Amino acid sequence: MDLSTRYMGLALKNPIIASSSPLSETLDGIKLLEDSGAAAIVMFSLFEEHIRRENESFEELLDSGTDSFAESLNYFPPVDRTPKGPEQYLNLIRKAVEATDIPIIGSLNGVTNEGWIDYAEQIQDAGAHALELNIYFIPTDLELLPDQVEQRYFDILCAVKATVSIPVAIKLSPFFSAIGNMAKRLSEAGADGLVLFNRFYQPDIDLNLLQVDSHASLSTAEEIRLPLLWIAILYGRIKASLAASRGVQSADEIVKYLLAGADIVTVASVLLKHGPQYLQVLLDDLEQWLSARNYQSLEEVKGVMSRQNAVNPGAFERVNYIKVLESFS
Ligand SMILES: Cc1cc2nc3c(=O)[nH]c(=O)nc-3n(C[C@H](O)[C@H](O)[C@H](O)COP(=O)(O)O)c2cc1C
């Protein structure tokens, strides 16, 4: 069975990529992901906040920053969560690239286009094969206009593309009023890949402690539906590669994402739950699903159930929403 695929021009032996998570925080963790079958690894993120702290201007920036920026910082994990500053991060990438035979994808996580963008070039110089930008911006400032929020993504993308030659993916939020147009314009602006979607932090309230509960939760299979819808809609209509992110618990979700049109599928929660070795189970089950239906290669299934190729494209549109509600009993 030929499970190979291409993502942002990178040749991959299979479609399963280890998503950014604590599993890539050590060299041993990275090697285990490779040994377990990951076709590529997206490193845990280097946060804008870690970089700013390293540059000793973080506190100053908090004092002088705009409301929207300062408030958005409250939504990041505590700065001390990751023991690694930029130097350790770059060192780990160097070691990972040397110790493995699969693409290593650096991950930068931030919201402005100043200062931290320089690290894109340094991540490239450290040997990373590609870069993922997680632009985790929560527009809490009610005066911010949609155009201003969107422009932030383009400013960051263009600043990064001007400094690196490796492929650049954007891990995208689903919270745009015209997500399809945003995806199209990001692709036209040079994004080599779009990761659909970022799992935005959504805090809960602890009713006993009356505190905001901000623990990280793992995903469930139900969460594939929103990325699935948009991958199916975008397939074949934009140049950027499509990466599915969210909700994979078994090979079933991987197959669905591929049928919708994903070039690759990223996984984090399922590996945090069962261990990196679970990658082999996912790969075996994926292969079994394909062989049972006489597929010879992954390319044969990609996009078969996309909006463009679906027998009933209306299934992806409003008309189906009405049918679904009417059929509920
Ligand atoms: C504990 C934990 C840590 C994560 N850290 C990062 C990170 O540093 N950078 C990032 O872009 N995404 C991070 N993510 C998000 C994952 O990469 C992934 O996009 C998300 O969990 C959805 O995929 P999943 O359903 O397979 O878990 C993290 C997720 C978890 C659960």
Work out the percent of the chain whose per-residue pLDDT is above 90: 74
Is-contact 259 299, C-beta < 8 A? no
What is the per-residue pLDDT across 73-103, written as a single tens digit (0 to 9) for each? 433 444 444 446 899 999 999 999 999 999 9
Which is the closest atom of ligand 1 to the Cα of 22?
3
pLDDT band at 214 (very low <50, low <70, confident <90, very high): confident
Which is more confidently placed, 318 or 162?
A: 162
Judge whether residue 71 has pLDDT over 70: no
Nearest CA to ligand 1 atom 30: 21
Claim: this prediction has a pTM higher than 0.75: yes
CA-based R_g, the chain, Å:
20
Nearest CA to ligand 1 atom 28: 21
Site of tokens 């990658």: 279
Which is the closest atom of ligand 1 to the Cα of 136?
11
Least confident range from 52-61, 89-98, 192-201: namely: 52-61
pLDDT band at 328 (very low <50, low <70, confident <90, very high): confident
Q: Answer whether 256 contacts ligand 1 (Cβ < 6 A).
A: no
Work out the percent of the chain whose per-residue pLDDT is above 70: 87
Q: Answer whether 173 contacts ligand 1 (Cβ < 6 A).
A: no
Q: Answer whether 247 contacts ligand 1 (Cβ < 6 A).
A: yes
CA gap 138, 51 in Å, rounded = 20
The alpha carbon of residue 12 and the mean position of all alpha carbons in its chain are separated, in whole angstroms, by: 17
Judge whether residue 264 has pLDDT over 80: yes
Beta-bridge partners for 172:
196
Q: What b-and-e string marks burial along 159-174, b requiring 16 or more CB atoms within 10 Å of the CB?
A: bbbeebebbbbbbbbb
Residue 252: how many other CB atoms lie within 10 Å: 15
Which is the closest atom of ligand 1 to the Cα of 269?
27
Is-contact 194 169, C-beta < 8 A? yes
Q: Answer whether 246 contacts ligand 1 (Cβ < 6 A).
A: yes
CA gap 17, 26 in Å, rounded = 17
**Which of 132, 112, 114, 113 is CA-nearest to residue 124?**
132
User: For all residues of the chain together, what is the average pLDDT?
Assistant: 88
Sketch out the chain's domains with CATH numbers. 5-327 (3.20.20.70)
Least confident range from 55-64, 123-132, 198-207, 253-262: namely: 55-64
